[in-house]
Structures are given as C-alpha cells and as structure tokens.
Amino acid sequence: MTAVSNRYPTAQLRALDAAHHFHPFTDTKALNAEGSRIITAAKGVWLTDSDGNRILDGMAGLWCAQVGHGREEIADAVHRQMTELSYYNTFFKTTHPPVIALAEKLAEVSPPQFNRTFFCSSGSEANDTVFRMVRFYWDQMGKPEKKIIIGRWNGYHGSTLAGTSLGGMKAMHEQGDLPVPGVRHIPQPYWFGEGGDMSPAEFGIWAARELEKAIDHHGEDKVAAFIAEPIQGAGGVIIPPETYWPEVQRILKERDILFVADEVICGFGRLGTWFGSEYYGIEPDLMPIAKGLTSGYLPMGGVLVSDKVAAGVIDKGGEFYHGYTYSGHPACAAAALANLEIIQREKLVERVANDIGPYLQARWRALGEHPLVGEARMTGLVGALELVPEKGNRKKAFPNTGTVGTMCRDISFRNGLIMRAVRDSMIISPPLVITHGEADQLVAIAKKTLDDTHAELKRRGMI
Ligand SMILES: *Cc1c(COP(=O)(O)O)cnc(C)c1O
C-alpha cells in the first residue's frame, strides 16, 4: 500500500476519508455527502487546501496555534529529542530532562502559588485529572464528604466522561446519561443571550450569586470545587461582565472550596497575560492547561497544582493512583519548551496586551456597526460577533439556531478566512503572531462575509 500523499487529487482524498474516517464532533454521514475540506499545509497564519487555496486561519487551528504554523525550531527540537530519548515513562521513580525543564518553566511563568505540574496529553485528560485530584485532596484533608463539583451551563471542559460532565453542554449530556453523579451546573455570565432586562453589571453580580446560592444550597461541607473558564471559548467566547469575577472571587474566599480555572484556551497569552486568571485578577487553586502549551505541535496537557492543593495531595504523603502512559512525554515536553521559548523571546504575551490585541480589537468592534451584528466583542485575541435578525433587539434570534451561523462560516471559508460558528455567532481566535497587515485582511474578509451572508439571507427572505 502506498502512503496517501498531498498529491492525490481532492476527490480521491475525500472518497478515502469518507470511507474510513469517523470525524469528531461531526455528523459524519452528512459530511460525507458534502465532502471534507482537506488541509495540506500551513505556515504562519495561512493554511493551504488540497485545491491550492490559501486560507487565513482565524481560529489558530482549534484555539491552539499561538506561535503560528510550521515553525522549524519546534520541529527541530522534537526531532532532536526523539533521536536522544524518544520515550520513557515517569511512573516508577523515573524522570527525564525535558519534563523536568518544562515543569520548572511552567512554575516560572505561572502565578506564584503554582510550583508543580501534573502532565497528560489533552485538555480533557487534564480535567479528568482535576476531577480525581479534587476528590483525593478532600479525602487527604479528612473531609471525604466534600465531593460535589460545580460547573456552569454552556461551559466546556472537554469530551471525556469527566470533561463532558464538568462542562455544561446539554446536547453532550444527552448522549450517554451525563453528567456523572456529583456534578451541578449554574447559569453562565452570558449577558447578550441571557441578561434579560438587567444591565451587564447587574447581570454579572446575579450570575456570580448563583454560585453562592448553589454552594449554600448543598452546604459548603459537601462542595469540593468550582470549575470555570475565565472566558468561555467553545461556548461562544462568553466574556463576562466586569462585575462577575470579583464577586465570584469574594464568594470563594469566604467559603472553603477549591477554585479551578480551566486555562486550556485562555492560557499562554490569549488574553494578553500568561493566564486568563491574571487578566481577571482571580486566584485559582488548580489550572488545567493544554492547547497553547505546545501551540498544537504535539498533544500535551497538564494541571498546574497550587501549593495549597499540593499540601493535601503531595505533602501528606500517599500515592495518587492516577497517571497516563504519556504523562510528560519527552517529545511533547520538548515541543512545549520550544514553543514557550518562542512566546518569551518574541514577547507574544506583551504583544497581545499592548500591540496586536488593541489593534485587532478596535477593528473587530467596528464590525458591530454591520446590520447583521448585534454585538462585536473581543478581549486579547479572542472575539465573537453575534448575528441577529433585528439590529438593536437582543431578544430576537434567528429560527433554527445555528443555521445562519453555519451559512456564514461556509461563506467565510470560501472567502478565505476560517471563523468558527457557535450557534449564530462567529468566533475568531487567531495565532498571536498575526501581523497588522494580516489582521486587516482578517477584518476585511469578515466584513465581506457579513455582507455576503446578509445578501444571502435577504435572497432567502430570512430578514
Ligand atoms: C479544548 C478545551 C478542553 C479540552 O481539550 P482537548 O485537548 O480537546 O481534550 C478543555 N477545556 C477547555 C476550556 C477547552 O477549550
């Protein structure tokens, strides 16, 4: 059998994909009727497809390619590591230099309360680790009755059993009778969609106090932890009102439960700080990480463990019966180290805070003037456009949620820009290395895409 190569014609690649590949988060039957898009190469912020089209990657892969695609420095570091030590485990009293170096580097770049990392291969595994570590912590602290973990509706924490359970995606819960027992969900701080007649500030306080109500309802002595993304990503780039995080932090400070900030998207510069928690001035006890940790060059995740949690799960002694064959994989650690080295050397975090962040935000927010856009929001380099049938009326949505978003996403792809659709909002999260010129191109294509979508909706009589 010959290797499938870039030189196969698109139709042949599509047919093979349709015959043998079961896609994640996809109605594969419907996709196969339509045919997959085939990406064959990528450099910087640009993707190339099997027909030779160049497409601007407005999503940094899946929110992960902080340093852009195709950096030889990372490939070289991985190659070097694989020829020296391709694999060894970290279970049985062993370790190796790349994982030592990475753990030390993460302690350096993270907030002061974090000095240790537990490694895994993805964000979902990181949250499975969180689930087990939180319960182990309270057992170790002599409070085994503290078991309930509170998450948020429309939060996303991955797709494994624990990840799906902690997350608040109802469609995911419906497949397989989830969440698992011991998980509760509270409303999300999504003012545009759920704020009703409250001002954003009032709504932020209201949403935070739902946490207080939930903890007090179950009793602080039964609740183990609260988990949340600083900004919800997959849920539609939900940027909470300014009042939200200070109120949540107040509530958590007054109660003895662990605070887990899921930094899988917000970590590694996305908000113009190393971690989203720093952007909001919140102080978590655990931080699951993945995505930007390696910029997606190899799969790797982890959980940053604060000194407070370490006092229970490490200092008290006793084995934590948990780990993965690939925990701290040397080649993945080498990729992460090379990636973090680029982020530091090119000052990408500062660049998002002071340069490209404000630059793109101003242009993105200006898209809010478009007749199809109800709100244009962006923090750091993550943003959303809410598409609405009636400008100025937040309460009116398109029928069959998701139809217009998907239409707009397909038009955007044809116009040469990857945006993601969540319900009827359009999402971007570009690589942190995007230049001013490329940011201008991104906004110009997004504008044209809105115009084209508007025209198509008119043609179909939908507005
Ligand atoms: C993507 C994501 C995850 C899951 O990560 P995987 O690597 O896909 O398992 C978890 N949490 C958040 C916030 C994410 O965005």
Q: Which domain holds residue 160?
A: 73-345
Q: Report if residue 380 sits inside a domain.
A: yes
Query: What is the per-residue pLDDT across 225-247, written as a single tens digit (0 to 9) for each?
Result: 999 999 999 999 999 999 999 99
Helix or strand run (H / E) with residue 59: none
| Tokens 């007090």 belong to residue | 216
Q: Report if residue 5 sits inside a domain.
A: no
Task: Check pocket membership of 265 for ligand 1, CB cut-off 6 A.
Answer: yes
Between the CA of 13 and the centroid of ligand 1 the distance, in Å, is 28
Neighbours of 184 (CB within 10 A): 17
Q: How confident is the model at residue 122 (pLDDT cuts 50, 70, 90)?
A: very high
Could you identify the atom of ligand 1 that is nearest to the CA of residue 163? 10
Mean pLDDT of 160-184: 97
Task: Check pocket membership of 264 for ligand 1, CB cut-off 6 A.
Answer: yes
Question: Full-prediction pTM beyond 0.85?
Answer: yes
Q: Report if residue 376 sits inside a domain.
A: yes
Query: What is the per-residue pLDDT across 72-111, written as a single tens digit (0 to 9) for each?
Result: 999 999 999 999 999 999 999 999 999 999 999 999 999 9
Which residue's CA is the nearest one to ligand 1's atom 5? Answer: 123
Last residue of a domain, one of 345, 380, 406: 345
Provide the domain count of the chain. Answer: 2
Q: Report if residue 105 sits inside a domain.
A: yes
Contact predicate 248/227, CB 8 Å: no
Q: Residues 56, 110: one domain?
A: no
Q: How confident is the model at residue 215 (pLDDT cuts 50, 70, 90)?
A: very high
* Predicted local distance difference test score (pLDDT) of residue 176: 87
Task: Check pocket membership of 294 for ligand 1, CB cut-off 6 A.
Answer: no
Between the CA of 392 and the centroid of ligand 1 the distance, in Å, is 33
Q: Report if residue 52 sits inside a domain.
A: yes
Q: Residues 420, 433: one domain?
A: yes
Query: What is the per-residue pLDDT across 399-428, written as a single tens digit (0 to 9) for each?
Result: 999 999 999 999 999 999 999 999 999 999
Could you identify the atom of ligand 1 that is nearest to the CA of residue 62? 1
Helix or strand run (H / E) with residue 114: strand 114-120
Give me the chain's average pLDDT, please: 97
Alpha-carbon distance of 429 to 335, in angstroms, equals: 21
Task: Check pocket membership of 233 for ligand 1, CB cut-off 6 A.
Answer: yes
CA distances from 168 to 24, 228, 277 (A): 18, 10, 20
Q: Residues 353, 215: one domain?
A: no
What's CA 127's distance to the chain center, in Å?
Answer: 12
Could you identify the atom of ligand 1 that is nearest to the CA of residue 124? 9
Q: Residues 25, 140: one domain?
A: no
Task: Check pocket membership of 81 for ligand 1, CB cut-off 6 A.
Answer: no
Mutate to test the pocket of ligand 1, among 125, 169, 291, 294 (most ligand atoms within 8 A of CB): 291
Task: Check pocket membership of 234 for ligand 1, CB cut-off 6 A.
Answer: yes
> How many residues are recorded in the chain?
463
* Predicted local distance difference test score (pLDDT) of residue 106: 98
Last residue of a domain, one of 303, 322, 345: 345
Q: How confident is the model at residue 130 (pLDDT cuts 50, 70, 90)?
A: very high
Q: The tokens of 211 are what? A: 């946490």
Task: Check pocket membership of 124 for ligand 1, CB cut-off 6 A.
Answer: yes
Last residue of a domain, one of 287, 318, 345: 345
Mutate to test the pocket of ligand 1, among 237, 263, 265, 286 (most ligand atoms within 8 A of CB): 265
Task: Check pocket membership of 266 for ligand 1, CB cut-off 6 A.
Answer: no
Q: Residues 205, 311: one domain?
A: yes
Between the CA of 451 and the centroid of ligand 1 the distance, in Å, is 32
Q: Report if residue 386 sits inside a domain.
A: yes
* Predicted local distance difference test score (pLDDT) of residue 83: 98
Q: Report if residue 2 sits inside a domain.
A: no
Helix or strand run (H / E) with residue 292: none
Alpha-carbon distance of 38 to 17, in angstroms, equals: 10
Mean pLDDT of 424-449: 98
Rounded to 5 degrees, φ, ψ at 48 are -120, 135
Q: How confident is the model at residue 1 (pLDDT cuts 50, 70, 90)?
A: very low
User: Which amino acid does the sequence have at 372?
Assistant: L
| Nearest residue to 270 via CA among 346, 353, 337, 345 | 353
CATH number at residue 440: 3.90.1150.10
Q: How confident is the model at residue 207 (pLDDT cuts 50, 70, 90)?
A: very high
Mean pLDDT of 9-13: 94
Which residue's CA is the nearest one to ligand 1's atom 11? Answer: 157
Q: Residues 44, 116: one domain?
A: no
Query: What is the per-residue pLDDT across 273-310, written as a single tens digit (0 to 9) for each?
Result: 999 999 999 999 999 999 999 999 999 999 999 999 99
Q: Residues 47, 169: one domain?
A: no
Could you identify the atom of ligand 1 that is nearest to the CA of residue 299? 7
Q: Report if residue 259 sits inside a domain.
A: yes
